Amino acid sequence: MALDHGLVGVESEPYERSWTARDTMLYALGVGCGTGELEFATEKGQRVLPTFAVLAAQAPGRRLGDFDPAMLVHAEQAFELYGELPPAGRVRTTTKVTGIHDKGSGALVTTRATAVDPETGEPVVSSRSAVFIRGEGGFGGERGPRGTWEPPDRAPDHKVTYATREDQALVYRLSGDHNPLHSDPEFAARAGFPRPILHGLCTYGVTGRALLHAVAGSDPARFRAMSGRFTSPVFPGDALTVSIWVDGSDVLFRTAKDDGTVVIDRGRAVISPRPAP
| 250-273 confidence digits (pLDDT tens) | 999 999 999 999 999 999 999 998
Residue 104 has pLDDT above 90, yes or no: no
Which pLDDT score is estimated for 60?
A: 85
Give the domain extent around 221. Answer: 5-271
Band of pLDDT at residue 137, cut at 50, 70 and 90: confident
Q: The CATH number of the domain where 261 resides is what? A: 3.10.129.10
Residue 1 has pLDDT above 60, yes or no: no
Residue 79 lies inside a defined structural domain of this protein: yes
Give me the mean pLDDT over the 229-234 stretch. Answer: 96
Residue 276 lies inside a defined structural domain of this protein: no
Residue 110 lies inside a defined structural domain of this protein: yes
Residue 235 lies inside a defined structural domain of this protein: yes
The fraction of the chain above a pLDDT of 90, given in percent, is: 74
Rounded to 5 degrees, φ, ψ at 42 are -135, 175
Residue 63 has pLDDT above 60, yes or no: yes
Residue 230 lies inside a defined structural domain of this protein: yes
Residue 95 has pLDDT above 70, yes or no: yes
Give me the mean pLDDT over the 111-128 stretch. Answer: 97
In angstroms, the CA 170 to CA 236 distance is: 9
**pTM of the predicted structure, to 2 decimals:** 0.92
For residue 49, give the nearest of 57, 40, 58 by alpha carbon.
Answer: 40
Which pLDDT score is estimated for 144?
A: 77
- Enumerate the β-bridge partners of residue 111: 97, 129
In angstroms, the CA 130 to CA 147 distance is: 14
Specify burial of residue 195 (Cβ count, 10 A radius: 0-12, 13-18, 19+): exposed
Mean per-residue pLDDT over the chain, rounded: 93
Residue 277 lies inside a defined structural domain of this protein: no
Q: How many domains does the chain divide into?
A: 1
Q: What positions carry a catalytic annotation? A: 177, 182
Residue 19 lies inside a defined structural domain of this protein: yes
CA 156 to chain centre: 22
